[in-house]
Chain A
Amino acid sequence: MPVTTFTLIQNNLPVMLWGAGMTVLVSGIAIILGMPLGLVLCFGVSSSNRWVSRISRVYQSVWRGTPILVQLLIIYYLLPLIGINVPPILAAIIALTLNTIAFQAEIFRGGLQAIPPGQMEAARMVGIRIWAARRTILVPQIFRLVIPSLVNETISILKNSSLVSVIAVTELMRVSQQIVATTYRPFEIYIAAAVIYIVINLVLSLAGRTAERRLAHGT
């Protein structure tokens, strides 16, 4: 006897939400790791040292110019080859992080360019060392400026995380596939998954706008 759509969703919602939790977890770790490393890459790209700048830009070009699915597969198959055996979820996080670093660096660079160079000059003249100056003067301002773009990038990572299902990480996408395999109701299940993704992203957008407003008052 075919189960109604409502019952179908009701039965499977818990496990789908668990999958959504994994999605958020994997994405969240990638974003959080991505921020400091993205900043480092950003300063690398804008460095006055030719080699640092060149290598940074090559990294950016490669990781922004190729599909993330291909990057994911490379990391997944490459790591064991060079002796690093990690569970798929770790490979997924590594790939997502390496990818987001390249995009975040570009976002931060945009914020960096909006800050008058005179501020760093003043800090150096007062004797503050370069990384300390960057940390205390540039980084807070950069963050305030780029929150909308960062929110977009976070949403992007969340959507990209659906791809880690192909390397056997059980997040929302894979969970949905497994449910479909047993219930043979692809249309309803995938629509339900779609709704969950949209809700997560709406919440994110809202959080981003609130953060923007709060930080704007602080200026």
Chain B
Amino acid sequence: MAQFLDLWVQYAPLMLAGLVTTAWICALATVLGIAVGLVLACLDGIAFEPLRWAIRAYVEIMRGLPILILLFVLYYGGPSVGLRLSAGTVGVFGLGFYGAAYFAEIFRSGFQSIPKGQIEAARMAGLTGSQIIRHIKLPQMLVLITPPMVNQIIILIKESAVLSIITVAELTKNTTQFVNETYAVIQPYVAAAVLYWLLVEAVAQLGKLVERRVRF
């Protein structure tokens, strides 16, 4: 029994380092994804057909692609078109732009949930499109979109495991290292499962806090 727990103690630093890397990469990717997603959703409201078509295409492509392919194109295919990025950078950008498509959809349905009458009143008061988004749409939307946004962040955390395949030293890669060095299977994967679960729970709880604070 002691031997069983020994492995955990021995590899705790490695696993925790992996967890921190995972958390850090996901945080960066989330910020990138939300920023890009918001921009896309705002642009979608402009009545310029080719732009809206391009945004639609972007969203459909990201939703139809396994993230692994996106990462492979960027990491392994990149150098042949002059793009030499580190695995970590590819991870953040890949996850970020992948998530942006989903965040954009969440923002879009949020924008559409505001009653048209309020928008008309804002137009008559002379507000420009971006002023309407900032003062009328976003404040009211926040309560509505927080749960799906939190859900999407959790999905990104789980997807981040795939980064191990392009050699990023996050939690799953370190778990594999744990397995390869010790030939144990149960301890590493149980530890990995618990650590991912903890991270997901933390984000879910944070989400509930944000939801409560955002109610107007």
Contacts and interface: CB of A to CB of B under 8 A. Distances in A.
Q: Do A and B bind each other?
A: yes
Interface of A: 61-62, 65-70, 73-74, 77-78, 81, 155, 158-163, 165-166, 173, 176, 180, 185-191, 193-194, 197-198, 200-202
Interface string B155-175: 001111110110000001001
Given A67-B161, A81-B185, A186 B65 contact: no
Given A67-B158, A186-B77, A162 B176 contact: no
Contacts of A70: 161, 172, 175, 189, 192-193, 196
Nearest to A191: B73
Contacts of B197: 61-62, 65-66
Interface residues of B, number: 39
Contacts of B80: 185-187
Interface string B182-207: 00011001001100110011000000
A159 B77 contact: no
Given A74-B189, A159-B65, A187 B160 contact: no
A194 B189 CA distance: 30
Nearest to B163: A69
Q: From DSSP, what is the main secondary structure of chain A's interface residues?
A: helix
24 contacts: A61-B197, A65-B196, A66-B200, A67-B159, A70-B189, A73-B172, A73-B179, A74-B185, A74-B189, A81-B185, A159-B67, A163-B68, A165-B68, A173-B66, A173-B68, A176-B72, A187-B78, A188-B77, A191-B77, A194-B73, A197-B65, A197-B66, A197-B69, A202-B60
B69 A187 contact: no
B76 A194 contact: no
B70 interface: yes
A213 B186 CA distance: 47
B49 to A, nearest CB: 21
Nearest to A200: B64
Contacts of A165: 68
B125 interface: no
A68 B64 contact: no
A68 B68 CA distance: 13
A151 B175 CA distance: 33
Interface in B52-87: 60-61, 63-70, 72-73, 76-78, 80-81
A162 B165 CA distance: 12
Interface centre among B68, B160, B193, B201 (most CB of A within 10 A): B68
Contacts of B200: 65-66
A51 B3 CA distance: 33
Contacts of B70: 194
Contact of A67 (B66, B78, B176, B196): B196
B189 A155 contact: no
B64 to A, nearest CB: 4
